[in-house]
Amino acid sequence: MNSTSRHPAKRSRLTAVLAATALGLGAFAAAPSAAFAHEGHDHGTDPVITDPGGDHGDPTDPGTPDPGDTGEDGGALDWSNYERVLLTKDVGEPIDLAVLPDKRVLHTARNGDVRLTDPATGVTRIINKLDVYANSEDGLQTVAIDPDFENNKWVYLVYSPRDADGDGVADTPTGNAPNTLPAGADESYWDRWLGVNRLARFQWTGDQLDLSSEQVILDVEVQRGQCCHVGADIGFDGDGNLYLSTGDNTPASTPGANGFAPNNDAPGFNPGFDARRGAGNTNDLRGKILRIHVEDDGTYTIPEGNLFAPGTELTRPEIFVMGVRNPFRIEVDIETNSLSWGDYGPDATKAVAETAGRGPMGLVEWDAISLDEPQNAGWPYVHGDNFAYNDWDFATATPGAFFDPQNLKNESRWNTGLVDLPPAQPATLWYGDNPGDQPWDELVNFGAGTGQGPMGGPVYHYDESNPSTTKLPRHWDGKAFMGEFSQDYIAAFTLDWDAFEVTDIEDFLPNAALSALGQPPHDNPMDMEIGPDGSMYVLDYGDGFFRANPDAGLYRIDYVAGNKSPQARFTATPTSSSQAPLTVQFDAAASTDPDGDALTYEWDFDGNGTFDATGVTASYTYTELGNYTARLRVTDAGGRFGLTSRTISVGNQAPEVTVEFPGNGAFFDWGQAIPFKVTTQDAEDGTATDCARVSWTYGLGHDEHAHPEVSGTGCTGVFRTDPNSPEHGPGALLYGAVVVTYTDRGANGLPAATGEATLRLNPKEQQAEHAIRRQGVTVYADEDASGGNAIRGLGQGDYLAFDPVNFAGIDGAIVRATGAGEVQLRWGAADAEPFATAKIPGGNGWKDVEISFDAPEGTGALYVTSADELAVDSLKMVGDGVGDVTPPTVAHTLAPATPTGVGGVFNEPVRFSVQAADNGTLASVQYSRDNGATWTNLAANQQYGVTFDQNGTYDLRYRATDTGGNVSELGSVSFTIDLDAPNEPTVDTRTMVTLASPRVTYGAPGDVTVSVRGEGGAPSGEVVLTVGENEIARGTLDADGNAVIALPADLPVGTHTLRATYGADETFKTSAGIARLTVSQARSTTTVAVSPTPVKPAVAATATVQVASSTGIVPTGDATVTIRRNNAVVATLTGTLGADGTVQVTLPKLSTVGAYQVQASYNGSAGIAKSSGSTSLTVQK
């Protein structure tokens, strides 16, 4: 048993019957039975001016009553008795706070800054900087002081070290891990993304942490390069045991999760997508609340009573609570012996949950348990009141059985712990999106925002002996506070601490009351703590994500009956310069007093503690370089005062950051990559941006919060949106949230300064109910609406406003509405001239009307109006938007650039490189050797190149693909490698062709002499003679570089251009020469002989024809034999010459006796002329 236990352990089962019913049905839409609805307390928003003390003067005056003596709680619930005092706006991206015993406040920012705010002086300073890995939600987290801080001075931090082992090299890559294994990689690839979240403590020196005194207590191994869920809060019990919360280290946008439990262990997927590997793993520290006892040397031991005893196989003994998702804020309360925490949930909408059959709608929890009862809170198997999720098969997208809360099994392939898990315990409180979704509707009614973000808070204990006059009154004694990050309220829970049951819920200091009193409202409360003065200290994150929001701040809530402190505000113009002197004009006119009292103004320009001037305005000249803290103190007539300060930088101005594209409010489709370009202007560094100093984060905006998804560095690239984002459900409010920062190099001995720019990127489909401003319309549920809700009553003077909007790439819209009339689109104001109008036809049901328009340029507000009392469901933009639809361009180079071997080949290895360019970011550059049948990736770190060193002919195709999925046109190149080929020659040559005669006769073309000359020697090798494309002869050069080449006898008749080409050797380059040669026909002679002669009548004789050429080439073709008698043709016969130029023709049998003439004619050919010859033939008896 824990020695601080004061109550018997009784864990409530708020709706056990309902939970069992949900398990039996398999899915639960999170609509509780009316029997379990409770009436909480909203004490109203109007301040009740009761003046219980009867004194509006100084609360330290002895006449001021004990703030705990409120009589029937009237004073405690009179919001005019409270004030929300701004301590500082200088909080960076605020994460956590810790109040020191002297009421100074330590607070952390995600980027690694530790700040110290002194409310007594109004000064905030960055006192330490840690080198952190700041991707997504990682970075510097919690700060806490030791219970024995007054004596041991230990301050605890939880952070993500960039270089945990101190070897000077970052532990993990920058950027984001892929969703699936890269091609060719095995599961060991994921090891490179392993880092740690570290619990350590440091000595406090009085005004800063001694970073060299660090004691590393515990490292929690996590997967990096992805979002989300760090947890990382600290508490201590009465035995000095330390409690550390850890998140499940699993993205909300896990592929296939669709807003339900992310248990994706499908083969090839990032193990970070399976929450069972952490939160559901008995042998892993993620998704837990740990309990350890830190020893003097920084080591730790295990207290008795944790969930698993030391030595239990496949378990970690540090675990006190397992099965939590993101317990971002916890509270360990000694008086009530309790541990409480808020836990976030997934994002499935009610409409999706009712139809998907995968588990409950997105719920969040607040839990309170005894320090004597370790437990399994059930995530990722159940959530809320043990509502079960389906054991979904992510590989096949098919359902399994629903998890049994009492018999949970971890069957993930990433599980390193027990298969059989402890039974799940239901949440103390749980709630969803809308009234009716939970037993306590106050949890969704108190705030004005949407979404859910429970932040665990302190349990207040009224201490009558505390001399502080600002401590919270007795009414809040024993009540637990919870901050609602997404809905901007603080709730107070009354509990039966024996049964750990909530019996009442109150809205603490509502924003409407604060506004009525002229005090700053709650704005995304991030952390709360009760200080030693009994006041509540609150760290507000403000609206926006991953940045130092303008409305972030550190506040203190005091109970002050009567006179309230004034609120100090001032402007300084300018706040920085590049050189001295700098004259600054100060103006405190924005300072106010809640009571309307007159104020006095005092200025401390250099932060030395001495006030230098008075008055509403002042001017001061800084004559030396440096950073100065300018302070303002405003005091009312009753002596109450407010302080504020800001830094004046003389010597270094913060850079200006401009996102050239996309525009703020631009439109895209989920899954697209959005190209961006960033430029900067710095007064000291100029416009030459050091792109390595540009950092950016893209996150999925959802209702009032965002999940950082992708981060990186560089001036150009793409914001890659997740195609799975719409899995949050059709009615979810989703958008892209971008923050870009640039840190300069510092100047004049002053530290670096940072500038930033932010973007909101809109999906093309915009639900009407998600308009940022609505006038005169009602949101109502409609199952036929695209998001399950719509607006109605859009009439004269009413409007929907969407802001910011940028129509780049948009040329139309589809308006989905019902009810006959017109819908107008207006720019900048609800009464501006319409730039487009949709005419909605009458009839039942939703009508989709597409309109085209010339969109306004730039970023502004889109107003949707009508005078016809229409209902509107959505607007869907038409056009490319700013998503990447432009393919990359590609070209190639070879090294060497030209062949190095004789014959146009490479006789050495060839480096093939692809030059790819894109308007966004390249995803891959590839080549193929088989005409595109298979592709091989080229590595960016090798400049998209590959070296080929084997003989062969390489016919390559290449392409590039960008992160938008756009593919370039194919490029191609072909080359041959012959490592044995001689080197390509280097000496120029001249080839000359000499003919024996420019005119020759067919069949006797003669010879040609080819001479090749080069500097420094005689070329060797062959020369080739060609006519046109045809080779006709070749010869080998002699020692003098000459070759005599016989021309072919059958060189055709005509005029020819003879080209002699020298083919090069190892020294002499190739060259060519020409000569013109004319070939004339050869003469021919034809003879004929008849046998026998004389010949008898009716006997056939034979004529032998012989044709010869003048050049000796044997004629070819036909010969014709003609027989005549008395000049009359008796017969004509034709024969084809044989290989010897002769042909025998059998003459006809002649019956008439007498003398005949026999003539033989050669018909000629392309190269030989015609000729003829004759003889006589006698026929006689």
DSSP string, 1067-1100: SBPPEEEEEEEEEEPBPEEEEEEEESSSB-TT--
CB 98 within 8 A of CB 144: yes
pLDDT digits (tens, 9 = 90+) for 192-239: 999 999 999 999 999 999 999 999 999 999 999 888 899 999 999 999
Same domain, 904 and 821: no
Same domain, 544 and 436: yes
Average pLDDT score over residue span 1064-1083? 90
* Predicted local distance difference test score (pLDDT) of residue 44: 54
Q: What band does 28 get if pLDDT is binned at 50, 70 and 90?
A: very low
Nearby residues of 608 by Cβ (< 8 Å), 6 or more positions away: none
Q: What is the CATH number of the domain that holds 87?
A: 2.120.10
DSSP category for residue 833: P
Average pLDDT score over residue span 753-774? 93
pLDDT digits (tens, 9 = 90+) for 865-897: 999 999 999 999 999 999 999 999 999 999 999
Residue 734 pLDDT exceeds 70: yes
Same domain, 646 and 662: no
Q: What band does 1073 get if pLDDT is binned at 50, 70 and 90?
A: very high
Average pLDDT score over residue span 848-861? 96
* Predicted local distance difference test score (pLDDT) of residue 1013: 94
Same domain, 808 and 851: yes
Q: What band does 639 get if pLDDT is binned at 50, 70 and 90?
A: very high
Residue 1130 covered by a domain: yes
Residue 56 covered by a domain: no
Q: Domain range spanning residue 1071?
A: 989-1080
Same domain, 1062 and 953: no
Q: What is the CATH number of the domain that holds 861?
A: 2.60.120.260
Residue 840 pLDDT exceeds 50: yes
CB 204 within 8 A of CB 156: no
What's the total number of domains in the chain?
7
* CA neighbor of 92 nearest in space, from 131, 122, 144, 129: 129
Average pLDDT score over residue span 992-1004? 93
Distances (CA, A) of 333 to 300, 466, 1143: 21, 18, 129
pLDDT winner (highest mean) among 439-453, 581-595, 976-990: 581-595
Q: How many helices and strands in the chain, by DSSP H and E?
A: 5, 77
Element (H, E) at 693: none
Q: What band does 120 get if pLDDT is binned at 50, 70 and 90?
A: very high
Residue 955 covered by a domain: yes
Measured distance CA(826)–CA(824) in Å, rounded: 6
Q: Exposed, middle or buried by CB within 10 Å (0-12, 13-18, 19+), for 440?
A: buried
The residue written with tokens 């740990």 in the block is 290
DSSP code string of 749-782: TBPP-EEEEEEEEEESEEEGGG-SEEES-EEEE-
Q: What are phi and psi of 264, to 5 degrees?
A: -90, 100
DSSP category for residue 555: E
CB 226 within 8 A of CB 346: no
Q: From the centroid of its chain, how far is CA 892?
A: 29
Same domain, 615 and 508: no
Question: Tokens for 17?
Answer: 């019957």
Average pLDDT score over residue span 545-564? 88
Measured distance CA(492)–CA(506) in Å, rounded: 5
* Predicted local distance difference test score (pLDDT) of residue 729: 67
Across the chain, mean pLDDT equals 90
Helices (H), 97-172: 149-152
Q: Do β-strands 319-322 and 288-294 pair in parallel, antiparallel, or remain unpaired?
A: antiparallel
Q: What is the CATH number of the domain that holds 630?
A: 2.60.40.10
Reply yes or no: is the peptide bond before residue 896 cis, omega within 30 of 0. yes
The domain boundary residue, chosen from 629, 650, 671: 650
The mean-pLDDT minimum among 34-43, 439-448, 506-515 falls in 34-43
DSSP code string of 241-298: -EEEEE-----TT-TTTTTS--B---TTB-GGGBGGGTTT-TT--SSEEEEEEE-TTS
Q: What are phi and psi of 1027, to 5 degrees?
A: -120, 115
Measured distance CA(493)–CA(1167) in Å, rounded: 118
* Predicted local distance difference test score (pLDDT) of residue 707: 66
* Predicted local distance difference test score (pLDDT) of residue 2: 36
The mean-pLDDT minimum among 127-136, 619-628, 1062-1071 falls in 1062-1071
SS3 readout for 910-939: EEEEEEEECCCCEEEEEEECCCCCCCEEEC
Measured distance CA(624)–CA(582) in Å, rounded: 8
Residue 60 pLDDT exceeds 80: no
Residue 608 pLDDT exceeds 70: yes
Maximum distance among all alpha carbons in the chain?
A: 178
Element (H, E) at 502: strand 501-508
Same domain, 554 and 635: no
pLDDT digits (tens, 9 = 90+) for 1024-1072: 999 999 999 999 999 999 999 999 999 999 999 999 999 877 788 889 9
Residue 674 sits at the vertex; the CA angle it makes with 669 and 678, to the nearest 5 degrees, is 150
Measured distance CA(675)–CA(715) in Å, rounded: 11
Same domain, 503 and 632: no
Round to the nearest angstrom and report the end-to-end CA distance of the chain: 156
Average pLDDT score over residue span 327-332? 97
Same domain, 503 and 644: no
Q: What is the signed CA dihedral for 47, 48, 49, 51, rounded to 10 degrees?
A: -120
Q: Which residue has the higher pLDDT, 73 or 145?
A: 145
Residue 1102 covered by a domain: yes
Same domain, 1162 and 1026: no
Residue 781 covered by a domain: no
Measured distance CA(83)–CA(977) in Å, rounded: 83
Percent of the chain with pLDDT over 90: 77
Measured distance CA(229)–CA(197) in Å, rounded: 12
Residue 31 pLDDT exceeds 60: no
Sign, CA dihedral 297-299-302-303, equals positive
Instruction: Show the beta-strand stretches assigned E in 389-470.
Output: 429-431, 454-459
pLDDT digits (tens, 9 = 90+) for 371-412: 999 999 999 999 999 999 999 999 999 999 999 999 999 999
Q: What band does 40 get if pLDDT is binned at 50, 70 and 90?
A: low
Residue 130 covered by a domain: no
Same domain, 449 and 540: yes
The domain boundary residue, chosen from 1080, 1098, 1129: 1080
Same domain, 910 and 861: no
SS3 readout for 152-216: HCEEEEEECECCCCCCCCCCCCCCCCCCECCCCCCHHHHHHHEEEEEEEEEEECCCCEEEEEEEE
The domain boundary residue, chosen from 850, 878, 906: 878
Average pLDDT score over residue span 669-693? 91
DSSP code string of 976-1022: EE-TTSPBPP-B-EEEEEEES-SEEETTB--EEEEEEEETTB---SE
Residue 71 pLDDT exceeds 90: no
pTM, full prediction: 0.71
Residue 183 covered by a domain: no
Residue 148 covered by a domain: no
Q: What are phi and psi of 517, to 5 degrees?
A: -90, 0
Percent of the chain with pLDDT over 70: 93
